[in-house]
Amino acid sequence: MVDKKKIVIAEDQKILREGLKSLLSSSDDFEVVGEAEDGLDAIRCVEKHNPDLLLLDLSMPKMSGISAIKDIKTRIPETRILVLTIHESEEYILEVFRAGADGYCLKDASHSELVMAIRSVLSGNRYISPGISDKVLEGYLEEKRVLKSSTSWDTLTQREREILKLVGEGYKNKEIAKYLFISAKTVEKHRSNIMEKLDLHTASGLTAYAIEKGLVTKSPTRP
């Protein structure tokens, strides 16, 4: 009997999530044990099911994929993480691997490539889509990359980016505090720091910036 590898799918678009589940469930060596539609749900789902692999979208509500990767690798380091995304820029790729991900696959990959990527990551290897220059990953792994000049974005801490994302999605300070398990006063302090660092002083300005940086992929809509 085949020992099936347990997989959790974290993707906010239901139709894509269902398609991925159908594809993976058709394989004799994969079992989809959980699904998540936002970053916080992804963390809870991994903690609950302790899967062999998390298939993770980067652009999700409530908590970004980058933050989810860091949290999961701290709590359940043995779970392998394969990012499935539309983003091809060097900034995203390097940040994903720095956070602890094990693979990076583009959403325009074929079914056969996705399965190959999953099996590669489950085997303990790193994977990166062939459509992305190998030099990007090699430069990161060899620690030879020349650091770019610091920007306002670079000055934001991971927590500040999480809060910026939630502000961009239309959440109020008390709601953000609840999601992140911190006080509303702490949220307000972080928000003030964000505004000062970015020189943006309105919620609409922060929202526009969050969209520009890919933290929010469309105009915010509340659940």
Quick check: is 57 in a domain?
A: yes
CATH classification at residue 114: 3.40.50.2300
Count how many domains the chain has: 2
pLDDT band at 149 (very low <50, low <70, confident <90, very high): very low
pLDDT band at 179 (very low <50, low <70, confident <90, very high): confident
Give pLDDT, residue 158. 85
Same domain, 43 and 123: yes
Residue 180: name the closest of 93, 64, 58 by CA: 64
Task: Pick the range with the lowest mean pLDDT from 62-76, 114-128, 143-157.
Answer: 143-157
Quick check: is 223 in a domain?
A: no
Quick check: is 146 in a domain?
A: no
- What is the model's pTM? 0.69
Give the model confidence (pLDDT) of 63-98 as tens digits: 888 889 999 999 999 999 999 988 877 777 888 888
Same domain, 14 and 47: yes
Same domain, 156 and 204: yes
First to last CA, the chain: 43
68: containing domain: 5-141
Quick check: is 180 in a domain?
A: yes
Asked whether 189 and 157 are in contact (CB, 8 A), the reply is no
pLDDT band at 147 (very low <50, low <70, confident <90, very high): very low
Same domain, 102 and 9: yes
The answer to whether residue 43 scores a pLDDT higher than 90 is: yes
The answer to whether residue 145 scores a pLDDT higher than 50 is: no
Quick check: is 220 in a domain?
A: no
Same domain, 50 and 21: yes
Give pLDDT, residue 92. 77
Quick check: is 219 in a domain?
A: no
d(CA 66, CA 99): 6
Same domain, 97 and 123: yes
Quick check: is 147 in a domain?
A: no
| R_g (Cα) of the chain, nearest Å | 18
Same domain, 99 and 195: no
Q: What are phi and psi of 211, to 5 degrees?
A: -65, -45
